[in-house]
């Protein structure tokens, strides 16, 4: 079963939850903080690197 990982905003505990819980309210087992399970930007979210030919293969612009 696929799952997501995120941190509690109350105690910064790492929490793992199944995808099926996205949008539902839960309580942190560490501190009791109530939160809504949602996708969050990862802590290590650096810019996405794509292969050099990706732009050429996916360029939908027209030359004028």
Domain residue limits at 6 = 1-41
Instruction: Report CA-CA distances (Å) from 7 to 52, 54, 60.
Output: 34, 33, 38
Nearest CA among 8, 63, 46 for reference residue 30: 8
Look at residue 61 and tell me if it is in a domain: no
| 6 and 15 Cβ atoms separated by less than 8 Å | yes
25 CB-near residues (< 8 Å, 6+ apart): 34, 35, 36, 37
Give strand ranges (E) for the chain. Answer: 3-7, 14-18, 25-27, 34-36
Look at residue 17 and tell me if it is in a domain: yes
| Number of domains observed in the structure of the chain | 1
Q: The pTM is what? A: 0.53
Q: What is the pLDDT of residues 22-54, one digit of tens each?
A: 899 999 989 999 989 887 665 555 565 555 655
């Amino acid at each position: 079963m696929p799952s997501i990982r995120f941190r509690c905003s109350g105690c910064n505990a790492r929490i793992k939850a199944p995808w099926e819980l996205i949008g539902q309210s839960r309580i942190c087992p560490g501190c009791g903080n109530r939160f809504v399970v949602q996708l969050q930007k990862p802590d290590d979210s650096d810019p996405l690197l794509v292969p050099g030919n990706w732009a050429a293969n996916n360029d939908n612009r027209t030359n004028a």
